[in-house]
Chain A
Amino acid sequence: MNGNNGVQDPIMESKASVVYMSGYLPGAAPEKSPILSPVPVRLPAAVHGGDSWKDVCGGGCGFAMAISENGRLITWGSSDDEGQSYVASGKHGETPEPFPLPTEAPVIQASSGWAHCAVVTEVGEAFTWGWKECIPSKDLGGGKQQSGSSEQGSNASSGVSLQNESRKVGEEPVKRRRVSTAKDETEGLTSGLDFFATTPSLVSVGLGVRITSVATGGRHTLALSDIGQVWGWGYGGEGQLGLGSRVKMVSSPHLIPCLELPGPGKERSFISQQGAATTSTQVLRVPGQYIKAISCGGRHSAAITDAGRLITFGWGLYGQCGHGNTNDQLRPMAVSTLQNVQMESVAAGLWHTICISSDGKVFAFGGNQFGQLGTGTDHAETIPRLLDGQNLENKHASVVSCGARHSAVLSEDGQLLCWGWNKYGQLGLGDTIDRDIPTQVQFDVCRLRKVACGWWHTLLLADSPT
């Protein structure tokens, strides 16, 4: 759910970095209390020799992720009594350890949803694992054939299974339950592998397509390619995959038409399939040639074009798409009230969206039940609202990140502001009181470089104090 500029922000200093964490990883370390103020995270001994932290990547519900200087993915989080680990965080449980990936290539970026993860390596490959609903199925359409056809956009429905939702919702769990009660009582909960993909699988979007970043939502995933195209898969019931319909499950990556056609000459058949009337009357061309940043909320998605326009799509009940209403947005659409603002990056939570402009201003919209918009009230906003309270005055925001129900912004001068739900100390303010305005986290030990919120926690990357 982190704001993410496809371009990596290199951390120039060669000196060691430190990672801090506040908040709570449910399922991990039950005897420990939630961490109310940021505490350092131990660098795993296995990678300690000459290695350091490079980046923080938030994490999902019950696990945290970061990247080491050598490009190894480091995870920590819950494990259970049987030694059967919560799959997303690795088998080692709460101790930060490298997560085994089926590649030697260094990881450059990582993202996690509620219960699934995705990473991108230096060579442009993406891997994903965790809750099976979110993982592209391997046996569908036959690998490259499949992705080839999607790339051409010649067949929008290949690999898209329009499942009957009511059946899926109602009968399936019941059936499973009945089966399981009939089984031996001692079987317990160890069969998590049925529902979790433990081994990261390579995401194939087509020959020669290099992925530069990934974004993960509650049940869906987006990937951004080196030519600025966006691919999506997973659950799309509210339009969060931007395919123009309520697709319950997209089991292989599909190209999302984020920018409309420049002209008839370059027509993409994907678009023309949707019905010319709708496309030509409803969707205006979005300024920009390619997408430069992506983010996923619980059930909505956001992207920024190279021209700085914010595009959103998906679930809209709380106004989280920012189009002035509470409808689901089934196709990517530019947020019209921001048309004169150059957007730089965007992040989203379960019900809300926060974006920052190239001149460092912060805008918020969507659900606000816990103050996660930072507007000083608990009213939802259906159009972007500029946060201009005193704590943001004269601040140039440079990094934005959202947890499930909280928000964080890091300013250019290294000051950290957090707001929203704080029941588990995720804001790092030393207490468990929710904040409805951006509130400064006193952090004098060392200079902050990056903030990345996990589901109910927050990770900070800082220069080593020495």
Chain B
Amino acid sequence: MSGATTVSSGDCSLRLPTPTLDAESRSLLQSISAQGGYAYARMAALAAAGDQRAAEAARDMAWEQLHSGPWHSVLPVWRDAYSMACLHVANFHFAAGEFGEALGALDMGLIMGGMLLRKDLHDSVLLVSSESRKKANSLEASGDFKGQKLVPEVPVDVNEVLKILPCRSLTSRRVEKRSGLSMEGFLRDYFQSGTPVVITNCMAHWPARAKWNHLDYLNAVAGNRTVPVEVGKNYLCTDWKQELVTFSKFLERIRTTKPSSSVEPTYLAQHPLFDQINELRDDICIPDYCFVGGGEIQSLNAWFGPAGTVTPLHHDPHHNILAQVVGKKYIRLYSSSVQDELYPYSETMLCNSSQVDLDNIDNTEFPKAEELEFMDCILEEGEMLYIPPKWWHYVRSLTMSFSVSFWWSKETDSSSSG
């Protein structure tokens, strides 16, 4: 295509705002060439000149590179390359008035891409969303939502719940509940000693508490956005898989999931949703407790799914506050000092997961697990649970549930955990 001057004359009105891309693309392409990505650079240049197929091929190439080795070994420049290709793809859809497709491409860039072009992606999402609303002639998200609640406020029937929960649940030590715990109290009594605690009456000021229980609101701010979800009993099962769906489709699925049905639950789990959807980020507040001990936030994750989702017994390297916004969850905790008795997997990928299935303990294979001491609780709407680093936890939703986890570490902690 020597000297093919693909001037996209005329219809320049519908272009995404991509100032960073415009300023950085030359040097970014050079970095990618340095990593052997000459064919990518060529396709990206053609995409910028108006070749839609090239944009698509560039995105496929970058996607492939993101998956061509272990996740930690992927060169950051390929994440930026992926975002770049997503912006190009989105631009073509946007110009053609295909707003849903444009948003989908931008979301993929936000979910898997790098940091360099994040602002362009967010700004583009804003523009596409507003154009899309104009076209649909729908009302802006007014914040006044009176429609059907996702989860009705009904107290837990303990006898019913015990039929579902693992053996010995709610029979031994409960996690202490403290109302409006002070920072000093949290530091002194729990953080320093590494003791779990449930903090109540501490998130009434979150906008999310008033909004997230309303289907209309969630659909209005995020319905057209693409999110990664997990389908299957839990991530240790063979038929477990990840899927990308629009948020409205996800909401429809979890609303219609019957707890007893044979359909595998869909779970939006461990996803940094708030880095992706700014409107939802504005609805939450980082708890002050997370700054105790001079730590730094490592990640904010969303956990949104129907009743019956299970996160199997595992531990994480960071301090963790799990904030329950909508619905109720059962959580069981085993001390970080427990190791062999919970039979961690030997594979590197799963060495923080226990082979013990609490819902169906195999006493002959894992004899030490049954009698182990633990503490547990039912986490109610508006409560936060502090889980110290390396504490084993098992989580089961008792209703439809939307929670937010905050991970933080001191710098010294995080450097050792990788």
Contacts and interface: CB of A to CB of B under 8 A. Distances in A.
B349 A326 contact: yes
A173 interface: yes
B258 to A, nearest CB: 26
B31 A62 contact: no
A83 B42 CA distance: 12
Interface stretch (B68-76, B206-214, B282-290, B296-304): B68-76
Contacts of A83: 2
A167 interface: no
Contacts of A218: 68-69
Given A30-B46, A350-B64, A86 B38 contact: yes
A394 B52 CA distance: 44
A351 B349 CA distance: 17
B172 interface: no
A232 to B, nearest CB: 17
Nearest to A317: B70
Interface string B216-248: 000000000000000000000011010000000
Interface in B13-51: 26-31, 33-43, 45-46, 51
Given A30-B51, A80-B42, A189-B41, A133 B36 contact: yes
Nearest to B74: A169
Given A30-B54, A195-B33, A78 B39 contact: yes
B393 to A, nearest CB: 24
Nearest to B239: A379
A299 B34 contact: no
B148 interface: no
Contacts of B241: 378
A24 interface: yes
Contact of A327 (B36, B46, B51, B348): B348
B77 A173 contact: yes
Contact of A238 (B30, B60, B67, B69): B69
Nearest to A85: B38
B39 A177 contact: no
B27 A180 contact: yes
B412 to A, nearest CB: 17
Contacts of B42: 26-27, 62, 78, 80, 86
Given A81-B3, A86-B39, A350-B68, A173 B34 contact: yes
A104 interface: no
Most buried by B among A27, A185, A238: A27
Interface in A104-135: 114-116, 130-131, 133-134
A27 B75 CA distance: 22
Given A27-B39, A81-B3, A196-B38, A177 B31 contact: yes
B38 A327 contact: no
A177 B39 CA distance: 19
B73 A177 contact: no
B36 A181 contact: no
A325 interface: yes
A31 interface: yes
Nearest to A377: B239
A176 B31 contact: yes
Interface string A300-335: 000000000000000101000000011110000000
A179 B42 CA distance: 21
Interface in A357-412: 378-379, 404-405
Interface residues of A, number: 59
B149 interface: no
Interface in A287-307: 298-299
B230 to A, nearest CB: 15
B181 interface: no
A355 interface: no
A27 B38 contact: yes
A262 interface: no
A195 B3 contact: no
A192 to B, nearest CB: 6
B369 interface: no
B43 A26 contact: yes
A87 B37 CA distance: 11
A315 B76 contact: no
A131 B36 contact: yes
Nearest to A182: B27
A6 interface: no
Given A26-B57, A218-B69, A238-B69, A192 B38 contact: yes
A189 B45 contact: yes
Contacts of A115: 36-39
A192 B31 CA distance: 10
Nearest to A378: B241
B17 to A, nearest CB: 21
The 4 closest A-B pairs by CB, nearest first: A62-B39, A131-B36, A115-B36, A27-B39
Interface of B: 1-3, 26-31, 33-43, 45-46, 51, 53-54, 57-58, 60-61, 64, 67-70, 73, 75-77, 238-239, 241, 347-349
Interface of A: 24, 26-27, 30-31, 33, 61-62, 78, 80-81, 83, 86-87, 114-116, 130-131, 133-134, 165, 169-170, 173-174, 176-178, 180-181, 185, 188-189, 191-192, 194-196, 218-219, 237-238, 298-299, 315, 317, 325-328, 350-351, 378-379, 404-405, 423-424
22 contacts: A27-B38, A27-B42, A30-B43, A30-B51, A62-B38, A62-B39, A83-B2, A87-B38, A114-B36, A115-B36, A170-B76, A177-B27, A177-B31, A178-B27, A181-B26, A192-B33, A195-B36, A218-B69, A238-B70, A238-B73, A404-B64, A405-B64
